[in-house]
A and B are shown apart, each in its own frame.
Chain A
């Protein structure tokens, strides 16, 4: 399969990258891992006249812990690196799990968290995980810099709150409080190499190992034009003792937050029912992890 012709730019500093973006803006595509951009270009969906590779911009591929408060993940960090990073697996579990379920090993070696977020596909793996972790995205342009919460970043399929001259440089995560646990579950046809029919990320904080839920976040993917937070379901959980019945109720409430479509991967009806099941399972796993929390 042939790629259309384009001009290639390979900035070696962030400043240069941002300058190119401000000059070329709408005519350019940012190339990170290429697992999405190059596919879309081969399929002639995207025909940018310029491609700006950010692979040689220093620092974008770093995972930087910030004391006990959190972690900064460069937008160029690959799914493979996130999936195996000890701190991410331990404290930011939904992120590591989502990274491990994205595509297949070769894809995970190239695909980046930044690319996955900016592409804003409704069924993408990273967005729900980032949403339950309340990630803050740092966007930079040649003359400006702003921070955008991931909850609210997505506007529609392929549409996110980022301007053509902006670059997503990093994602900030606050470390969840003690007695927190997270999960990410995904339903596809095969066991791997799958685009989700439904995916769910959850983060639950308990008062103590056997205490009630003090905070909960649930994000659902592939069930609406953008991934969505199931706020009503989250509220329902707070202050209650975890139980199967409670998780079930939360799942039922979660369905109300969604507007899934029928497409060739699955029908609306089935997706709705699976939101219930997957939400329940995600909560169960999150609580299990929360109970096993160690300082």
Chain B
């Protein structure tokens, strides 16, 4: 039987009727058209479906849509502010951290969660924070550089 859920997605209230066996990933992609979160494995192994749930990055393929009832979800589509890209997004573009782009939404959201908690992370902290987001294209180096660069940007803003 379908259940009615209400949640906040990218700052907007959303209501949906879902079967309990639907995942948050499938709800976001199919019901809301937010296809930025990707389906890579379905088992929480790859991180392509990462979204931020109540401030924490999670594999949305391992969260039921009904579990997100009343909670706050941020997807990659909600990261830019009125069309202005988030510094992490800008850094990913500038640094060449994106190749095929399939891991990028999850990667960027994991980076965002990290910088929210720890604005000046070390390289090891960055690598640990994205260690559940698999990337087969980049060897991670430019992704790490991008996050370091974004952390620099964030600080620059605080100073000015």
Binding site for B on A (CB under 8 A): 1-8, 10, 31, 34-35, 38-39, 42-43, 51, 53, 55, 80, 103-107, 109-110, 191-193
A106 B19 Cβ-Cβ under 8 A: no
Q: How far apart sit A35 and B63, CA to CA, in the bound complex (Å)?
A: 8
With a cutoff of 8 Å between Cβ atoms, the chain B residues found around residue A8 in the complex are 3, 20, 64, 66
With a cutoff of 8 Å between Cβ atoms, the chain A residues found around residue B69 in the complex are 10
Which of the four size classes fits the interface of chain B?
20 to 34
With A10-B66, A104-B47, A105-B57 already in contact, 7 other A-B pairs whose C-beta atoms are closer than 8 Å:
A4-B21, A34-B63, A53-B64, A106-B59, A106-B133, A110-B58, A193-B45
Q: How far apart sit A6 and B20, CA to CA, in the bound complex (Å)?
A: 7
Nearest-neighbour CB distance to chain B for A47, whole angstroms, equals 11
With a cutoff of 8 Å between Cβ atoms, the chain B residues found around residue A193 in the complex are 45, 131-132
A192 B131 Cβ-Cβ under 8 A: yes
Q: Which 4 A-B pairs have the closest CB atoms?
A: A104-B132, A1-B42, A8-B20, A3-B21
Nearest-neighbour CB distance to chain B for A33, whole angstroms, equals 8
User: Which B-chain residue is minimally distant from A78 (CB atoms)?
Assistant: B56
A106 B64 Cβ-Cβ under 8 A: no
Nearest-neighbour CB distance to chain B for A65, whole angstroms, equals 23
Given A38-B64, A104-B131, do A109 and B56 touch, yes or no (CB 8 Å)?
A: yes
Q: How far apart sit A34 and B58, CA to CA, in the bound complex (Å)?
A: 11
With a cutoff of 8 Å between Cβ atoms, the chain B residues found around residue A51 in the complex are 20
User: Which B-chain residue is minimally distant from A9 (CB atoms)?
Assistant: B20
User: Which B-chain residue is minimally distant from A39 (CB atoms)?
Assistant: B43
**Given A2, A53, A55, A106, which contacts B44 in the complex, CB threshold below 8 Å?**
A106
Given A3-B23, A110-B62, A192-B131, do A34 and B57 touch, yes or no (CB 8 Å)?
A: no
Binding site for A on B (CB under 8 A): 1, 3, 19-23, 42-45, 47, 50, 56-59, 61-64, 66-67, 69, 110, 128-133
Q: List 7 A-B contacts (CB under 8 A).
A: A1-B61, A8-B64, A42-B42, A51-B20, A103-B44, A110-B58, A192-B132
With a cutoff of 8 Å between Cβ atoms, the chain A residues found around residue B19 in the complex are 5
Q: How far apart sit A192 and B47, CA to CA, in the bound complex (Å)?
A: 13
With a cutoff of 8 Å between Cβ atoms, the chain B residues found around residue A106 in the complex are 44, 47, 50, 57-59, 110, 132-133
Q: How far apart sit A109 and B110, CA to CA, in the bound complex (Å)?
A: 12
User: Which A-chain residue is minimally distant from B49 (CB atoms)?
Assistant: A106
Nearest-neighbour CB distance to chain A for B132, whole angstroms, equals 3
B43 A42 Cβ-Cβ under 8 A: yes
Q: How far apart sit A126 and B130, CA to CA, in the bound complex (Å)?
A: 22
With a cutoff of 8 Å between Cβ atoms, the chain A residues found around residue B3 in the complex are 8
